[in-house]
């Protein structure tokens, strides 16, 4: 149940309309909690209903009309509580690891290309994170707030490095070894 909290965080960082939030979920905060515009509009409605956020008075409500939201005290309180709440990590559900395991049973046909494609995607994502790191977290800055956000970004960076490492290893196993290495 983290989507509302992702939205509250984004709105505290900067009051926004639904579309602006959607754009920020395509970069920034969305790197760690993705969401589509349909989810976002639905959730904004619920959060407003629950009294955690409100539409800025300037925005008269009408379809097609821009509507900006800000977080109310109750919303900030909810987010503050959530930060320290006990919540177990979700069990892993990764399709690529699973496919590798399926390949152990039915063969690896077509898998090498797919692993290579993923490797490329993760390399691009890593490059993007590293670029953000250079621009947003130069060595001389270290406000506490920034340090926390930097740790989050480093999590993203290290996660991409994990995938790059694993995919490289996996490719060596799938594509690398000749069919009968000990006879070669």
Q: Point out which residues bind DNA (CB under 7 A).
A: 1-3, 17-20, 34-39, 41-42, 44-45, 61-68, 90-91, 93
Rg over CA atoms, the chain: 22
Minimum separation from the CB atom of position 61 to a copy of itself (A): 27
Binding mask 12-51 for a copy of itself (x = CB under 8 A): xx---------------xxxxxx-----------------
**88 contacts a copy of itself (rule: CB under 8 A):** yes
For the chain, give the number of residues: 184
**56 contacts a copy of itself (rule: CB under 8 A):** no
Confirm if 151 and 139 have CB atoms less than 8 A apart. Answer: no
Residue linked to tokens 């579309």: 19
Which residue in 58, 65, 73, 83 binds a copy of itself (CB under 8 A)? 83
Binding mask 96-135 for a copy of itself (x = CB under 8 A): xxxxxxxxxxxxxxxx-xx--xx--xx-------------
Burial class of residue 119 (count of CB atoms within 10 Å of its CB; 0-12, 13-18, 19+): middle
Which among 44, 33, 37 has a CA at the least distance from the CA of 2?
A: 33
| Partner residues linked to 69 by β-bridges | 16, 55
Minimum separation from the CB atom of position 17 to a copy of itself (A): 19
Helix (H) or strand (E) holding 5: helix 3-13
Minimum separation from the CB atom of position 102 to a copy of itself (A): 4
């Amino acid at each position: 149940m983290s989507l509302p909290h992702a939205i509250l965080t984004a709105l505290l960082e900067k009051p926004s309309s639904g579309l602006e939030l959607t754009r920020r979920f395509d970069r920034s905060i969305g790197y760690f909690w993705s969401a589509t515009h349909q989810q976002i509009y639905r959730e904004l409605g619920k959060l407003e209903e629950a009294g955690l956020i409100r539409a800025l008075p300037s925005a008269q409500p009408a379809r097609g009309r821009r509507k900006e939201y800000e977080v109310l005290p109750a919303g900030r309180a909810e987010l503050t509580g959530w930060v320290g709440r006990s919540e177990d990590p979700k069990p892993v559900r990764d399709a690529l690891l699973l496919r590798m395991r399926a390949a152990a049973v039915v063969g690896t046909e077509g898998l090498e290309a797919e692993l290579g494609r993923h490797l490329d995607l993760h390399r691009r994502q890593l490059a993007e994170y590293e670029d953000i790191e250079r621009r947003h977290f130069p060595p001389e800055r270290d406000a506490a707030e920034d340090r926390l956000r930097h740790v989050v970004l480093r999590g993203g960076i290290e996660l991409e490095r994990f995938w790059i490492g694993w995919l490289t290893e996996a490719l060596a196993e799938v594509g690398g070894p000749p069919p009968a290495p000990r006879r070669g």
